[in-house]
Structure 1
């Protein structure tokens, strides 16, 4: 009989949503996302094509994001999507789970709750862009959007510069008080203003909505502003004027997604910019691109949300949980 050289299944780590919140903070998420962006730019990590479909039930979008980080030896996928009616049921609209596999054997090694991690890794992504691209003297943080994710964005962004106040606009003004409460908690004055005034006053702007039309126009943005566009992750979505990308120096998490499902899709299709005008943020992280070249330059980060971000933070959670004695199951 031939000898079986396969490794035995040691057990699958199960990491709950509550444990993810306990084990992965903003610092851990920032470090993981920054590292994987750098690995992507070195071609040490790559994402697989995204699957995202309307399922024809509950108005839901469902899909898969997956990839392999050869540098970090992280292999897996995130399965989940967007259920717009969940808030009325006391649930978050985004629902997902991350599956991690042993890259040496293909065996499942961890099941990790993805809802909190999706929120904190998205905030980490914009936070990484602010750390590397925003002016050092940025003092006013602008927010376009005030939903659940905006609260994560505000907390993470506030740690990257010495902001003195927050200005915000949301299509539904009744949602702004929750964002104002977060600003108050972290000690920043908060003003609800028009979208145009966000552009006129802010040194850093984060857009985090589900819009399908521009909410922020190119003419509203002052020189030297850094914009992190974080809401556009599907074909047809749009948060900012396409002409703004023509004015700005554009960076992204992944070029293929930026031009197809990200904010850059509209500027590219209109012929305002081309693929060659977009730089992976990992090139700045690795020191291969200068990033911001002048105090007056407008920089824009197109954060489309890549599977490797999810895998990076899920791996942090799984490793921490295993060290912490998390429950393990066998198939």
Structure 2
């Protein structure tokens, strides 16, 4: 780094607390970071480490680690955290809690500790919006969202930047949550309609699923030709948002194939013999141009976004750079 404001001493660790993330990180910066790391993965310049994810036997929590190394971006580290299902009701905290740790790949020294809660939402939304940019029809006009929880609002805002949508249609297991999503749509100037799943599929050109379901809600028969789907909620063995037959009808892309077939949406279609592992393509190939992406207006494309550690590292590294540039990074001797 060139100037004194952004230089980091060898014995310093940079801390960017959760409270600073919203003022630093934008959806656009998250998009750029995630798009670049997906491209690096497909080029073989970045790889994820095996995921550790465990039920800890306390508070019904799931806890784990995601990490990796991006040689192109020289980013090394891990995200530690998980899902505490009772946080919102008992502590007024969001249920997903995480922290990202970055290390110097040259020396192994710890470089930074970054609050990961908002970054997780931003990188998840960035991943689906990358898929919309590269795989959906450019003339897509109606955005469909299945789910209305915390992350659905990030998904809506990020997706709206990728296409000239004229309307949002949405469905949720708990309809009483939809008015808040309608407020988010109104804030960015988009009409909003609460609909049935059948009507959602009939209208939507792009569909984002962002639930934590263990049974499919969106069925193959709901989805019309030419639709792009970003399935973002399935990240654990047994979870499922869409009918497996839908993947057999679609051209399937993912962040990482190994995760897609083991903990992602594709796990069910592969297990049922409806698609083969080699039929799933890393989305980075469409970004790099080594795969054509969408090949026709009537093709259904589906992005199985399982969430990889490299996404977290990419957005965390970006926010550290922004914090250093703005002079608000906390420096601690370590």
| Structure-2-length-normalised TM-score | 0.96
- Per the TM alignment, residue 164 of structure 1 is displaced from its structure 2 partner at its CA by 0.4
Cα RMSD of the aligned pairs, angstroms, is 1.0
- Kept after mapping to 2: 8 A contact 1:13/1:321: no
- Per the TM alignment, residue 8 of structure 1 is displaced from its structure 2 partner at its CA by 7.2
Distance in structure 2 (CA, Å) of the matches to 1:213 and 1:197: 20
Give the 5 Å matches for 1:299-310.
299-310=301-312
- Kept after mapping to 2: 8 A contact 1:74/1:312: yes
Task: Name the residue aligned to 2:32.
Answer: 31
Task: Name the residue aligned to 1:225.
Answer: 227
Deviations 1:107-153 (A, max 9, x none): 00100000000000000000000000000110000000000100000
Q: Which among 173, 180, 183 is matched to residue 181 of structure 1?
A: 183
Give the 5 Å matches for 1:244-259.
244-259=246-261
1:71 has 2:93 as partner: no
Distance in structure 2 (CA, Å) of the matches to 1:223 and 1:327: 51
- Kept after mapping to 2: 8 A contact 1:82/1:93: yes
1:167 has 2:169 as partner: yes
Task: Name the residue aligned to 2:333.
Answer: 330
- Per the TM alignment, residue 9 of structure 1 is displaced from its structure 2 partner at its CA by 3.0
Distance in structure 1 (CA, Å) of the matches to 2:109 and 2:310: 19
Task: Name the residue aligned to 2:4.
Answer: none
Task: Name the residue aligned to 1:150.
Answer: 152
Task: Name the residue aligned to 1:110.
Answer: 112
Structure 1: which 4+ aligned runs deviate by more than 4 Å?
Answer: none
Task: Name the residue aligned to 2:5.
Answer: none
- Per the TM alignment, residue 311 of structure 1 is displaced from its structure 2 partner at its CA by 0.1
Distance in structure 2 (CA, Å) of the matches to 1:140 and 1:87: 32
- What secondary structure is seen at the aligned counterpart in 1 of 2:270? helix
- Kept after mapping to 2: 8 A contact 1:133/1:226: yes
Task: Name the residue aligned to 1:49.
Answer: 50
Instruction: Structure 1 unaligned segments of length 5 or more: list them.
Output: 1-6
- What secondary structure is seen at the aligned counterpart in 2 of 1:12? strand
- Per the TM alignment, residue 185 of structure 1 is displaced from its structure 2 partner at its CA by 0.4
Q: Which range is displaced more, 264-273 or 314-323?
A: 314-323
- What secondary structure is seen at the aligned counterpart in 1 of 2:294? coil
